[in-house]
Amino acid sequence: MKIAFFMLHEALPYAGVVRPFINWSKKLSEDHEVYFLLLNCGIELVNFVKSMGNIRDYVITNTPSKLTRFVETIKPDILITDDYIVRLKTLQKIKDNVSVKTCIYVQVLFGIHSIVDVYHPVFLRERVLFTLAKLVPFNIFKIQYKKLLQKHDIIIANSGITATLLHTLYGIEPHGVVYPPVDTEIFKFQNVKKKDQVLLYLGSHAGDTDENFVKEICKILKNKDMKILVMGNKTLQEKLLKEFEIQAVSGVSDEELAKVYSECKLTICPQKWEQFGYVVAESIACGTPVLAFNMMGPKEIIEKTRLGFLVNNKKEFLDILENIEKEKSLTVSLTNKIENFPFSITYSSEKLLEVVFHEKSTP
Protein backbone atom coordinates (compact mmCIF):
# COMPACT_ATOMS: atom_id res chain seq x y z
CA MET A 1 0.00 0.00 0.00
CA LYS A 2 1.07 3.56 -0.67
CA ILE A 3 0.32 5.87 2.28
CA ALA A 4 0.92 9.62 2.05
CA PHE A 5 0.81 12.09 4.95
CA PHE A 6 0.18 15.79 4.31
CA MET A 7 1.28 18.65 6.57
CA LEU A 8 0.86 22.39 6.07
CA HIS A 9 2.12 25.35 8.14
CA GLU A 10 3.81 23.19 10.80
CA ALA A 11 7.25 24.00 12.21
CA LEU A 12 8.32 21.15 14.49
CA PRO A 13 8.47 17.39 13.89
CA TYR A 14 7.14 16.52 17.33
CA ALA A 15 4.40 19.10 17.66
CA GLY A 16 1.27 17.43 18.98
CA VAL A 17 -0.57 17.45 15.64
CA VAL A 18 2.47 16.24 13.68
CA ARG A 19 3.65 13.49 16.03
CA PRO A 20 0.98 10.90 15.06
CA PHE A 21 2.03 11.01 11.40
CA ILE A 22 5.74 10.81 12.23
CA ASN A 23 5.18 7.84 14.53
CA TRP A 24 2.86 6.01 12.13
CA SER A 25 5.46 6.35 9.39
CA LYS A 26 8.01 4.51 11.54
CA LYS A 27 5.84 1.41 11.79
CA LEU A 28 3.90 1.51 8.53
CA SER A 29 7.07 1.88 6.43
CA GLU A 30 8.06 -1.66 7.46
CA ASP A 31 5.43 -3.12 5.12
CA HIS A 32 4.12 -0.18 3.08
CA GLU A 33 5.39 2.71 0.98
CA VAL A 34 5.18 5.91 3.04
CA TYR A 35 5.36 9.43 1.58
CA PHE A 36 5.38 12.90 3.16
CA LEU A 37 3.94 16.04 1.59
CA LEU A 38 5.08 19.28 3.24
CA LEU A 39 3.70 22.64 2.18
CA ASN A 40 5.04 25.87 3.74
CA CYS A 41 6.53 24.03 6.72
CA GLY A 42 9.32 25.14 9.06
CA ILE A 43 12.96 24.22 8.58
CA GLU A 44 13.09 21.88 11.60
CA LEU A 45 10.25 19.76 10.28
CA VAL A 46 11.69 19.88 6.76
CA ASN A 47 15.12 18.72 7.93
CA PHE A 48 13.61 15.99 10.07
CA VAL A 49 11.64 14.55 7.15
CA LYS A 50 14.74 14.72 4.94
CA SER A 51 16.66 12.70 7.55
CA MET A 52 14.02 9.99 7.90
CA GLY A 53 15.38 6.83 6.38
CA ASN A 54 12.12 4.95 6.63
CA ILE A 55 10.01 6.88 4.13
CA ARG A 56 9.84 6.14 0.42
CA ASP A 57 9.82 9.75 -0.82
CA TYR A 58 8.80 13.28 0.07
CA VAL A 59 7.99 16.62 -1.49
CA ILE A 60 8.85 19.92 0.18
CA THR A 61 7.36 22.96 -1.48
CA ASN A 62 5.74 26.36 -1.11
CA THR A 63 3.67 25.79 -4.23
CA PRO A 64 0.35 23.88 -4.01
CA SER A 65 0.51 22.99 -7.71
CA LYS A 66 3.78 21.10 -7.18
CA LEU A 67 2.11 19.23 -4.34
CA THR A 68 -0.75 18.24 -6.65
CA ARG A 69 1.67 17.00 -9.32
CA PHE A 70 3.50 14.90 -6.73
CA VAL A 71 0.24 13.24 -5.65
CA GLU A 72 -0.64 12.59 -9.28
CA THR A 73 2.78 10.99 -9.84
CA ILE A 74 2.94 8.68 -6.81
CA LYS A 75 -0.76 7.76 -6.88
CA PRO A 76 -1.14 6.95 -3.17
CA ASP A 77 -3.77 4.50 -2.00
CA ILE A 78 -4.63 6.94 0.78
CA LEU A 79 -3.73 10.58 1.47
CA ILE A 80 -4.02 11.50 5.15
CA THR A 81 -4.03 14.79 7.05
CA ASP A 82 -5.83 16.20 10.08
CA ASP A 83 -8.80 18.54 10.40
CA TYR A 84 -6.97 21.85 10.74
CA ILE A 85 -9.20 24.04 8.57
CA VAL A 86 -6.45 25.26 6.19
CA ARG A 87 -5.24 21.71 5.60
CA LEU A 88 -8.81 20.58 4.91
CA LYS A 89 -9.21 23.28 2.27
CA THR A 90 -5.87 22.53 0.63
CA LEU A 91 -6.53 18.79 0.56
CA GLN A 92 -9.87 19.42 -1.07
CA LYS A 93 -8.15 21.42 -3.84
CA ILE A 94 -5.83 18.48 -4.45
CA LYS A 95 -8.81 16.13 -4.51
CA ASP A 96 -10.57 18.37 -7.04
CA ASN A 97 -7.65 17.88 -9.45
CA VAL A 98 -6.50 14.34 -8.71
CA SER A 99 -8.45 11.15 -8.16
CA VAL A 100 -7.24 10.13 -4.70
CA LYS A 101 -8.79 8.58 -1.60
CA THR A 102 -8.49 10.93 1.36
CA CYS A 103 -8.62 10.40 5.13
CA ILE A 104 -9.05 13.04 7.83
CA TYR A 105 -7.65 12.38 11.29
CA VAL A 106 -9.77 14.57 13.57
CA GLN A 107 -7.73 16.10 16.40
CA VAL A 108 -8.44 19.85 16.14
CA LEU A 109 -12.25 20.15 15.98
CA PHE A 110 -12.42 23.53 14.28
CA GLY A 111 -15.32 25.64 15.42
CA ILE A 112 -15.72 24.44 19.01
CA HIS A 113 -17.20 27.54 20.59
CA SER A 114 -17.25 26.43 24.21
CA ILE A 115 -13.45 26.42 24.53
CA VAL A 116 -13.35 30.10 23.64
CA ASP A 117 -15.39 30.80 26.76
CA VAL A 118 -13.13 28.87 29.14
CA TYR A 119 -9.66 29.57 27.71
CA HIS A 120 -7.59 32.46 29.01
CA PRO A 121 -4.87 32.88 26.36
CA VAL A 122 -1.59 34.39 27.50
CA PHE A 123 -0.56 35.66 24.06
CA LEU A 124 -2.01 39.00 22.90
CA ARG A 125 -2.62 37.67 19.38
CA GLU A 126 -4.62 34.73 20.73
CA ARG A 127 -6.60 36.93 23.12
CA VAL A 128 -7.65 39.05 20.13
CA LEU A 129 -8.52 36.01 17.99
CA PHE A 130 -10.50 34.34 20.77
CA THR A 131 -12.36 37.58 21.49
CA LEU A 132 -13.31 37.88 17.83
CA ALA A 133 -14.31 34.21 17.72
CA LYS A 134 -16.88 34.84 20.44
CA LEU A 135 -18.61 37.31 18.14
CA VAL A 136 -19.08 34.74 15.36
CA PRO A 137 -22.11 32.44 15.64
CA PHE A 138 -21.10 28.83 16.11
CA ASN A 139 -23.21 27.73 13.13
CA ILE A 140 -20.94 29.65 10.74
CA PHE A 141 -17.94 27.63 11.88
CA LYS A 142 -20.00 24.45 12.04
CA ILE A 143 -21.39 24.63 8.50
CA GLN A 144 -18.02 25.30 6.88
CA TYR A 145 -16.18 22.63 8.89
CA LYS A 146 -18.87 19.99 8.38
CA LYS A 147 -19.02 20.56 4.61
CA LEU A 148 -15.25 20.16 4.32
CA LEU A 149 -15.21 16.96 6.37
CA GLN A 150 -18.01 15.44 4.30
CA LYS A 151 -15.99 15.87 1.11
CA HIS A 152 -13.45 13.28 2.24
CA ASP A 153 -13.66 9.50 2.15
CA ILE A 154 -12.71 8.45 5.67
CA ILE A 155 -13.07 10.28 8.99
CA ILE A 156 -11.13 8.99 12.01
CA ALA A 157 -11.39 10.37 15.57
CA ASN A 158 -8.30 10.49 17.78
CA SER A 159 -10.24 9.50 20.92
CA GLY A 160 -13.65 8.50 22.17
CA ILE A 161 -14.41 12.05 23.31
CA THR A 162 -13.51 13.40 19.86
CA ALA A 163 -15.89 10.87 18.29
CA THR A 164 -18.64 11.97 20.69
CA LEU A 165 -18.12 15.63 19.86
CA LEU A 166 -18.21 14.87 16.13
CA HIS A 167 -21.53 13.06 16.64
CA THR A 168 -23.19 15.57 18.93
CA LEU A 169 -21.92 18.91 17.61
CA TYR A 170 -21.55 18.22 13.89
CA GLY A 171 -23.67 15.17 13.14
CA ILE A 172 -20.59 13.47 11.68
CA GLU A 173 -20.18 9.72 12.21
CA PRO A 174 -16.49 8.80 12.16
CA HIS A 175 -15.45 5.52 10.60
CA GLY A 176 -13.50 4.64 13.74
CA VAL A 177 -11.39 5.74 16.68
CA VAL A 178 -7.61 5.40 16.40
CA TYR A 179 -5.53 6.66 19.30
CA PRO A 180 -2.36 8.60 18.41
CA PRO A 181 0.66 6.26 18.43
CA VAL A 182 3.21 6.35 21.24
CA ASP A 183 6.63 5.01 20.32
CA THR A 184 6.85 2.36 23.03
CA GLU A 185 10.32 1.37 21.87
CA ILE A 186 11.40 4.69 23.40
CA PHE A 187 8.71 5.47 25.98
CA LYS A 188 8.84 2.37 28.16
CA PHE A 189 9.70 1.23 31.69
CA GLN A 190 13.30 2.00 32.57
CA ASN A 191 15.37 0.72 35.44
CA VAL A 192 16.07 4.15 36.92
CA LYS A 193 15.64 5.44 40.44
CA LYS A 194 12.72 7.79 41.12
CA LYS A 195 13.77 11.24 42.28
CA ASP A 196 11.95 13.75 44.48
CA GLN A 197 10.64 15.54 41.43
CA VAL A 198 7.49 15.88 39.37
CA LEU A 199 6.79 16.86 35.79
CA LEU A 200 4.22 19.63 35.42
CA TYR A 201 2.68 19.97 31.97
CA LEU A 202 1.60 23.54 31.16
CA GLY A 203 -0.43 22.72 28.08
CA SER A 204 -0.10 24.10 24.59
CA HIS A 205 0.38 27.73 23.60
CA ALA A 206 -3.41 28.07 23.26
CA GLY A 207 -4.00 29.08 26.86
CA ASP A 208 -5.68 25.84 27.93
CA THR A 209 -4.09 25.92 31.40
CA ASP A 210 -5.33 27.98 34.35
CA GLU A 211 -2.40 30.15 35.45
CA ASN A 212 -3.67 30.76 38.99
CA PHE A 213 -4.37 27.07 39.55
CA VAL A 214 -0.88 26.14 38.34
CA LYS A 215 0.56 28.58 40.87
CA GLU A 216 -1.40 26.82 43.64
CA ILE A 217 0.11 23.53 42.46
CA CYS A 218 3.61 24.98 42.51
CA LYS A 219 3.15 26.36 46.05
CA ILE A 220 2.27 22.91 47.38
CA LEU A 221 5.20 21.27 45.59
CA LYS A 222 7.58 23.96 46.82
CA ASN A 223 6.47 23.40 50.42
CA LYS A 224 7.22 19.71 49.99
CA ASP A 225 10.68 20.39 48.57
CA MET A 226 9.77 18.68 45.34
CA LYS A 227 11.78 19.63 42.29
CA ILE A 228 9.44 20.98 39.62
CA LEU A 229 10.17 20.19 35.98
CA VAL A 230 7.87 21.91 33.49
CA MET A 231 7.11 21.52 29.81
CA GLY A 232 4.67 23.19 27.47
CA ASN A 233 3.47 26.80 27.28
CA LYS A 234 6.66 28.90 27.30
CA THR A 235 4.93 32.15 28.20
CA LEU A 236 3.44 30.52 31.29
CA GLN A 237 6.88 29.09 32.10
CA GLU A 238 8.32 32.61 32.14
CA LYS A 239 5.58 33.81 34.49
CA LEU A 240 6.16 30.92 36.90
CA LEU A 241 9.92 31.57 36.93
CA LYS A 242 9.29 34.90 38.63
CA GLU A 243 7.83 33.13 41.69
CA PHE A 244 9.15 29.57 41.72
CA GLU A 245 12.26 27.55 41.09
CA ILE A 246 11.29 25.50 38.09
CA GLN A 247 13.35 23.75 35.46
CA ALA A 248 12.13 23.72 31.88
CA VAL A 249 12.29 20.51 29.86
CA SER A 250 12.60 21.67 26.28
CA GLY A 251 14.59 20.86 23.20
CA VAL A 252 15.38 17.34 24.42
CA SER A 253 15.26 14.15 22.38
CA ASP A 254 12.54 11.56 22.88
CA GLU A 255 15.09 9.33 24.61
CA GLU A 256 15.96 12.09 27.08
CA LEU A 257 12.28 12.88 27.62
CA ALA A 258 11.54 9.22 28.36
CA LYS A 259 14.26 9.31 31.03
CA VAL A 260 12.67 12.44 32.54
CA TYR A 261 9.29 10.73 32.73
CA SER A 262 10.85 7.64 34.31
CA GLU A 263 12.72 9.58 37.00
CA CYS A 264 9.68 11.59 38.11
CA LYS A 265 7.34 10.41 40.84
CA LEU A 266 4.33 11.95 39.19
CA THR A 267 3.29 13.77 36.02
CA ILE A 268 0.76 16.55 36.58
CA CYS A 269 -1.65 17.53 33.79
CA PRO A 270 -4.14 20.19 34.97
CA GLN A 271 -5.75 20.82 31.56
CA LYS A 272 -9.50 20.48 31.10
CA TRP A 273 -9.52 20.52 27.30
CA GLU A 274 -7.33 17.73 25.98
CA GLN A 275 -8.82 15.42 23.38
CA PHE A 276 -6.01 12.89 23.75
CA GLY A 277 -2.93 13.89 25.71
CA TYR A 278 0.46 12.68 24.51
CA VAL A 279 2.09 13.69 27.81
CA VAL A 280 -0.37 11.50 29.72
CA ALA A 281 0.15 8.47 27.48
CA GLU A 282 3.94 8.79 27.27
CA SER A 283 4.32 9.20 31.03
CA ILE A 284 2.18 6.13 31.71
CA ALA A 285 4.12 4.14 29.10
CA CYS A 286 7.26 4.97 31.12
CA GLY A 287 5.61 3.74 34.32
CA THR A 288 5.01 7.14 35.91
CA PRO A 289 1.43 7.80 37.05
CA VAL A 290 -0.46 10.91 35.99
CA LEU A 291 -2.69 13.26 37.96
CA ALA A 292 -5.44 14.71 35.77
CA PHE A 293 -9.05 15.84 35.77
CA ASN A 294 -11.70 13.19 35.25
CA MET A 295 -12.64 14.32 31.76
CA MET A 296 -11.87 14.09 28.07
CA GLY A 297 -8.74 12.39 26.69
CA PRO A 298 -6.74 11.97 29.93
CA LYS A 299 -9.75 10.20 31.47
CA GLU A 300 -9.77 7.65 28.63
CA ILE A 301 -6.04 7.00 28.90
CA ILE A 302 -5.94 6.63 32.68
CA GLU A 303 -9.08 4.46 32.76
CA LYS A 304 -7.67 2.13 30.10
CA THR A 305 -4.26 1.79 31.75
CA ARG A 306 -5.32 2.12 35.42
CA LEU A 307 -2.17 4.07 36.15
CA GLY A 308 -2.90 7.49 37.56
CA PHE A 309 -5.32 9.66 39.50
CA LEU A 310 -8.55 11.12 38.14
CA VAL A 311 -10.15 13.92 40.14
CA ASN A 312 -13.40 15.81 39.68
CA ASN A 313 -12.43 19.28 40.87
CA LYS A 314 -9.54 21.50 41.92
CA LYS A 315 -9.89 20.64 45.62
CA GLU A 316 -9.46 16.92 44.94
CA PHE A 317 -6.53 17.73 42.64
CA LEU A 318 -4.71 19.69 45.34
CA ASP A 319 -5.55 17.09 48.02
CA ILE A 320 -3.68 14.45 46.03
CA LEU A 321 -0.63 16.72 45.94
CA GLU A 322 -0.89 17.49 49.66
CA ASN A 323 -0.72 13.76 50.39
CA ILE A 324 1.83 12.90 47.74
CA GLU A 325 4.13 11.08 50.20
CA LYS A 326 1.28 8.85 51.40
CA GLU A 327 0.22 7.66 47.95
CA LYS A 328 1.67 4.16 47.70
CA SER A 329 0.47 3.87 44.12
CA LEU A 330 3.04 6.48 43.15
CA THR A 331 5.59 3.71 43.39
CA VAL A 332 5.22 1.60 40.28
CA SER A 333 6.93 -1.75 39.94
CA LEU A 334 9.44 -1.63 37.12
CA THR A 335 8.34 -5.15 36.19
CA ASN A 336 4.75 -4.02 35.81
CA LYS A 337 3.57 -4.07 32.22
CA ILE A 338 0.52 -2.50 30.64
CA GLU A 339 -1.22 -5.28 28.78
CA ASN A 340 -2.52 -4.46 25.30
CA PHE A 341 -1.40 -0.84 25.60
CA PRO A 342 -3.87 0.77 23.14
CA PHE A 343 -1.59 3.72 22.46
CA SER A 344 1.49 1.78 21.32
CA ILE A 345 2.89 2.50 17.88
CA THR A 346 2.11 -1.08 16.79
CA TYR A 347 -1.45 -1.18 18.09
CA SER A 348 -2.31 2.27 16.72
CA SER A 349 -0.82 1.52 13.29
CA GLU A 350 -2.80 -1.71 13.04
CA LYS A 351 -6.00 0.10 13.96
CA LEU A 352 -5.30 2.76 11.34
CA LEU A 353 -4.90 0.10 8.64
CA GLU A 354 -8.04 -1.64 9.86
CA VAL A 355 -10.14 1.51 9.50
CA VAL A 356 -8.59 2.76 6.26
CA PHE A 357 -8.09 -0.49 4.35
CA HIS A 358 -10.31 -2.84 6.36
CA GLU A 359 -7.24 -4.90 7.24
CA LYS A 360 -7.92 -6.90 10.37
CA SER A 361 -5.69 -5.85 13.26
CA THR A 362 -4.49 -8.21 15.94
CA PRO A 363 -6.81 -8.45 18.97
Note the pLDDT of residue 109. Answer: 83
- Determine phi and psi for 159, rounding to 5 degrees: -170, 170
Name all domains of the chain by residue range, CATH numbers in brackets. 2-181+344-357 (3.40.50.2000), 197-330 (3.40.50.2000)
At 35 the pLDDT is: 98
Q: What is the pLDDT of residue 25?
A: 96
- The residues with which 104 forms a beta bridge, in sequence order, are 81, 155
Give me the tens of pLDDT residue by residue for the chain, a chain 363 residues long. 999 999 999 998 988 899 999 999 999 999 999 999 999 999 999 999 999 988 999 999 999 999 999 999 999 999 999 999 999 999 999 999 999 999 999 998 875 544 545 455 555 665 666 666 666 666 777 888 999 999 999 999 999 999 999 999 899 999 999 999 999 999 998 888 889 999 999 987 666 788 899 999 999 999 999 999 999 888 889 999 999 999 999 878 899 999 999 999 999 999 988 889 999 999 999 989 999 999 998 999 998 887 889 999 999 999 999 987 655 445 444 344 555 578 999 999 999 999 999 865 443
R_g of the chain computed on alpha carbons: 21
Query: What's the pLDDT score for residue 334?
Result: 38
| 287 touches 334 (CB < 8 A) | yes
pLDDT at 251: 78
- CA–CA separation, 80 and 100 (whole Å): 10
From CA 305, how far away is CA 119, in angstroms rounded? 29
What global pTM score does this model have? 0.87
The edge-to-edge listing of strands for the beta sheet with 227-231 is 246-248, 227-231, 197-201, 266-269, 290-293, 308-311
Pairing of strands 290-293, 102-106: unpaired
